[in-house]
Structure 1
Amino acid sequence: MNSRILLSQATVTETEENAVLRALRSGWVAPVGPELEAFEKEMAERTGVSHALALSSGTAALHLALLRMGVGPGDRIPVPTLTFVATTNAIAYTGATPVFVDCLPDGNIDPVLLLHSIDTLQAAGHRVPVAITVDLMGRCANYQEIEAPLQERGVELLADAAESLGATLNGRAAGSFGKAAAISFNGNKIMTTSGGGMLLSNDAELIDTARYLSTQARQPAPWYQHTEIGYNYRLSNILAALGRAQLGRLDQLIQRRTEIRDRYAEAGGELGYRLLGDVPETAEHRENAWLSTIVLDEASPVTPSEVIKALEQENIEARHIWKPMHLQPLHAGSLGFLNGVSEDLFARSVTLPSGAGLSESDIERVIDSLRRLLTGGRRRQVAAVRVG
């Protein structure tokens, strides 16, 4: 059998090995130390914000941000329905209630629906202190249509940039939008600390108080004294060293994933799919190509489940796109502002192997497997369009 092609395997080099060894030999093995401080500084510089806090996960970053932004029981928090459950879990941790908002064809939240949801909730007397966006699959949401209208409505913006580190919108980096933003360094992300995350903000007080909560809310006393509930959310110095090494290679990782994405895009016309994010393709968006997700044509002879099963039989890992939160049993009966786009994307999308470590032969294997499944092995004739 052919070797396994994984969806998004981390790529680790001698650079990462040396960084971790350096941290180990320094003696700083607890969740404090020079690597951690340097990692926060470098990440803030990369994303163009003033302050950063390294944490155990992107979920922890979302949770702390919501707490410091005053979210609590009874609040209604608009959030994309097309996201990973961690986004909505963080809302639930605070006692607030998620309200699901549908998306545009690129998978990101629909700004018009988002604003409609806020206006409807506020008119009904609900408190809406924060709205959450998600940069899906490495593409920034349409913040130019979101930031100012939210401010006019007295609603803070929390950006879930877990998937989009390295992406930009109109020259601004993912992670720099909103009152605060969360990044994930999970093992399958564009760069990794094996597990971890970062909270980013230009608000020094927000980061300082989040830092306090992340270390069990210990008071500055000569003994262990606590006046409120805290959390064990800090990243370790060793993992921070790994993150610094990965951050130094981030542009290289993005470039390789972009090359892979482009290969899939080139084959789409022949095989009967488009790449998620390609409608509309606009110059101001620069994606990080984290996971290449294809959207099958409406007339496709196969379903995403059949594609995933066929690829699995050839030892190739593929997955469904996120199942919309309003379809999850966990959130049955929840309020949603829906347009049907997320359900359509879920019904027609497949996420393909995208890791920077994939070889040219690996990508050819994936495309050849898709060709056999989608066209019966025949090269589909694509009509030429004459310009001029």
Structure 2
Amino acid sequence: MPQRIHLSSPHLGGLERGYVDEAFASNWIAPLGPHVDAFQAEFARCVGAPHALALSSGTAALHLALQLVGVGPGDDVLVSTLTFSASVNPIRYLGASPVFIDSERDSWNMDPVLLEEELEARARAGRPPRAVVVVHLYGQSADLDPILAACERHGVPVVEDAAEALGSTYKGRVPGTLGKAGIYSFNGNKIITTSGGGMLVSPDEELIRHALKLATQARDAAPHYQHSEIGYNYRLSNVLAAIGRAQLRVLEDRVAARRANHTYYVRALGALPGVTFMPEAPWGRHTRWLTTLTVDPARFGADREAVRLALEREDIEARPVWKPMHLQPVFSAFERRGGHVAEELFRNGLCLPSGSNLTADELARVVNVVRAVHQRR
């Protein structure tokens, strides 16, 4: 029987073992060490960020970023609605309330026009948000210039959630490095992985220094254990940082492989009636971390769910596009601006297997199933 095809499985090469062996040989197994220091420095150079801090997850990085830009109980934070819940959960950790902003169609990311409308309405009402979290979705940057300009006019800091977008570009710049702080994820399904891990970057050296303190249980500078604020256990281990250093070396190869997957799918499926792929916006490079499309049931002859279930019957993992946060039971009581674009993308959107280690035969299996659904209908 053919093996299961996963949506986005880890892709390890020949470099990781050497770095990990070095960590074991040096006995640096704790959540600090030379590989952590080197990974932070190498990552900062890779994305062009002045300062970087390796952490246990992208969620941990976002939690610290929001806390350090001043988010606290009773605050409002504007955030993309078309995203994974990890973009929103840290807002609630801090006792703040999310306010969801709909997507635009050029990139499926936060709509700058709706963001501006919400900021202006809140300014008139005397209810400015404490921060804006803009998510770069599925490997593509949001349209950052108007977003940053609107937030600067209203004095609101921007935190970039680039968990899915390492390797993407925006007008020659790197998403995640243009706001007050940016976060990245190295979860097992991401374009590069440390098994579990994340990175916080910022041009603000003091923000990173304070984040480091909070991430290590907020221990004060003293020979004994002394704490003047609440901290967290958020540091990345030296062993996982070793894996990250090896993965970072092949980032461009991983981007090229995922973009090649997308090209294959477009050539094989793009002419089918009712199939439309997530566009690549004109402002930068889409990594195609996940190849994502929409299915118009009236033209294709079947809906997105019929395609997904047909793939699953052949042991192929595909997933719906993120269910918008304003439709999630846990967030349904919170405010939103717009929502119909994200709802339509969720209703019709499907993520195809996109791993950089997919074989030609596996890609053909996926395509054959999708085409067969259309032909049967």
- Fold in common (TM above 0.5): yes
Task: Give the stretch that moved more between structures: 295-304 or 80-89.
Answer: 295-304
Q: Which letter maps to 2:26?
A: S
In structure 2, the residue matched to 1:175 is 176
State whether residues 5 and 317 of structure 1, in contact with CA within 8 Å, keep that contact through their aligned partners in structure 2.
Answer: yes
Provide the C-alpha distance between the structure 2 equivalents of 1:25 and 1:14, rounded to a whole number of angstroms: 18
- Could you report, residue by residue, the CA deviation over 1:81-129 in whole angstroms, capped at 9, with x for unpaired residues? 0000011101111111000000011310000101111222232222412
Contact kept in structure 1, 2:269 and 2:367, CA below 8 Å: no
Tell me the amino acid that sits aligned with residue 53 of structure 2: L
Q: Distance in 2 between matches of 1:177 and 1:337?
A: 24
The letter of the residue matching 1:288 is T
TM-score, normalised on structure 2?
0.97
Identity across aligned pairs (percent)?
A: 47
| Alignment-derived partner of residue 125 in structure 2 | 124
Please state how far the C-alpha of 1:173 moved relative to its aligned partner: 1.2
After superposition, the C-alpha distances for 1:40-90 in whole angstroms (9 at most, x for unaligned) are: 001111111100000000000000001110111111111010000011101
In the TM superposition, what whole-angstrom CA distance separates every residue of 1:195-223 from its partner, at most 9, and x where no partner exists?
A: 00000111000100011000000011111
Give distance in 2, aligned partners of 1:255 and 1:123.
46
Partner of 1:295: 294
Corresponding residue for 1:386? none
Structure 1 gap ranges (5+):
378-388
State the AA in 2 paired with 1:36: V
**3-state SS in 2 of match to 1:146:** helix
2: distance between equivalents of 1:174 and 1:112? Answer: 19
Tell me the residue number matched to 1:80.
80
Deviations 1:256-302 (A, max 9, x none): 01100111122333223121134xx42x3101110111111352322
Q: Give the distance between the partners of 2:11 and 2:186, measured in 1 at CA.
A: 13
2:316 corresponds to which letter in structure 1?
I
Residues in 2 aligned to 1:342 and 1:321: alpha-carbon distance in whole angstroms: 9
Q: Partner of 1:229 in structure 2? A: 230
The TM-score, its normalising length taken from structure 1, stands at: 0.94
Choose which of 277, 280, 283 in structure 1 pairs with 2:279. 277
SS of the residue corresponding to residue 193 of structure 1 reads coil
- The letter of the residue matching 1:275 is F
Q: Which residue of structure 1 aligns with residue 285 of structure 2?
A: 286
Unaligned runs of 5+ in 2: none
CA distance in 2, matches of 1:178, 1:141: 12
- 1:370 aligned partner: 370
Question: Is the Cα contact below 8 Å between 1:157 and 1:178 reproduced in 2?
Answer: yes
Structure 1 contact 268–275 (Cα < 8 Å) conserved: no
**What's the Cα RMSD here?**
1.2
Does residue 243 of structure 2 align to residue 265 of structure 1?
no
Contact 2:304 2:348 in 1 (8 A): yes
Paired position in structure 1 for 2:212 = 211
Alignment of 1:1-388 (within 5 A): 1-105=1-105, 106-272=107-273, 273-278=275-280, 281-282=281-282, 284-297=283-296, 299=298, 300-376=300-376
Q: Greater shift after overlay, 84-93 or 119-128?
A: 119-128
Distance 2:178 2:302 in 1: 39
